[in-house]
Amino acid sequence: MRRALAIGLFAVLSTLGIRVAGSAPRPDCDRACLTGFLDRYVAALLAHDPGRLPVARDIRFTENLVPLRFGSQGLWATVNGRRDFNLYAVDPQRGDAVWIGILKENDKPVMVAIRLKILGDRITESETLVGRSGLTAADQVAGPRPEFSQPIPAAAQATREQLIAIANSNWDAMEQGNGRLAPYAVDCERYDNGRKTTQGPSPPPLPGTPPAGGDVANAADHDVGELGCFGQMDSGRFRNGSRVQPRRIWAVDRQYGLVVGLFTPNVPGTVRTLHLRNGKTLTVGPDELIPFTIEQVEMFRIVNGQISKVEVVLGPRVPYGMRSPFDMKSLWEPR
């Protein structure tokens, strides 16, 4: 009778969304503990030995949005080395841990992002994005930007909600072609698979003033890669019908001002011309006239309420609307 009551209470609490024993993050798994899980995971990956890891029996594992057999498929079968490149974002409050680094896949360096969910003393989820994209400098980048490992003073740390809102504003700016929607720092830089893809400072215009000179005025006269973070988003170059959904946060690391997540721009292939903010019109190439989705993990470094550095693991293009199983309640959920 008592056992039946206990089972019934467990079911009720679960239905109400209340965490119960066995489903909560490990209470003593602090920053060092979560980082340790990541280091052990990468070591096991390199050794092709998942038996080294404490994993849940029903661990959920994906690579580049696709469910695979944990420990034997995908990068687990092809990795054969690494480079000294390590970025960490950990979220002890939720048991989330993220590593961005460079591994060698059949001798070719590739940027990799790994997310682990730690519940109790086990890894219950493992999500990997491998930067198998033509845009890469994984074999050349000297090392991670040091700013990502510089802690934010306690008095200056933003709340979880503030950090997420700032990271999300980057995608609002891209969708609407309006750089004013995101607070870009003058020193903002973005790197895609190790390659710097922004140039120059990103001074936004004063509130209420039209963009003038430099960054935005020359948006159609030069390649968008010659612009800064603000100029690229404000130019209108990315207003090709793309909607960035889902935007799933992997971890919020308040101590280091980091927000990292999986963000998937969906390009419908229906926009033939782009009207840039400087008044010129750009005809898009044939590669943008087919529907596709971009899978990418982005780590935002946010300082004093501004986006300062962005590290991107850029995956391959996938069929339009493709989703990770972690983003679907059911197969037929509207996309």
Q: Which long-range contacts (CB under 8 A, 24 or more apart) does 214-217 make?
A: 216/179, 216/277, 216/278, 217/278
| Per-residue model confidence as pLDDT tens digits over 136-195 | 999 999 999 999 999 999 999 999 999 999 999 999 999 999 999 999 999 999 999 999
pLDDT at residue 208 above 90?
Answer: no
pLDDT of 91:
97
pLDDT at residue 287 above 50?
Answer: yes
Q: Is 31 left (phi over 0), alpha (psi -120 to 50) or beta?
A: alpha
Q: Per-residue pLDDT averaged across 190-212, rounded?
A: 75
Q: Per-residue pLDDT averaged across 103-127, rounded?
A: 97
Cα dihedral across residues 106, 111, 115, 121: positive or negative:
positive
Q: Which helix (H) or strand (E) holds 33?
A: helix 31-47
pLDDT of 220:
43
pLDDT of 221:
54
Higher pLDDT, 47 or 284: 47
CA distances from 77 to 14, 59, 93, 214, 315 (A): 37, 18, 33, 48, 18
pLDDT at residue 215 above 80?
Answer: no
pLDDT at residue 209 above 90?
Answer: no
| d(C-alpha 268, C-alpha 291), whole Å | 4
pLDDT of 16:
37
| d(C-alpha 268, C-alpha 245), whole Å | 13
User: 271 and 290 in contact (C-beta within 8 Å)?
Assistant: no
Q: Give the chain's domains with CATH numbers.
A: 22-146 (3.10.450.50), 152-327 (3.10.450.50)
pTM score above 0.85: yes
pLDDT of 196:
95
| d(C-alpha 325, C-alpha 67), whole Å | 7
Alpha carbon 206 to chain centroid, angstroms: 30
pLDDT at residue 1 above 60?
Answer: no
Residue 38: pLDDT band (50, 70, 90) is very high
pLDDT at residue 56 above 60?
Answer: yes
Q: What is the 3-state secondary structure (H, E, C) of 232-281?
A: HHHCCCCCCCCEEEEEEEEEEEHHHCEEEEEEEEEECCCCCEEECCCCCE
| d(C-alpha 267, C-alpha 323), whole Å | 14
pLDDT above 70 covers what percent of the chain? 85
Higher pLDDT, 282 or 163: 163
Instruction: Please report the DSSP string for 143-195 in residue order.
Output: S--GGGGPPPPGGGPPPHHHHHHHHHHHHHHHHHT-GGGS-EEEEEEEEETTE
Using the structure block, give the residue that is written with the tokens 């092809």: 78
Quote the DSSP letter at residue 294. Answer: E
| Per-residue model confidence as pLDDT tens digits over 288-324 | 999 999 999 999 999 999 999 999 999 999 999 999 9
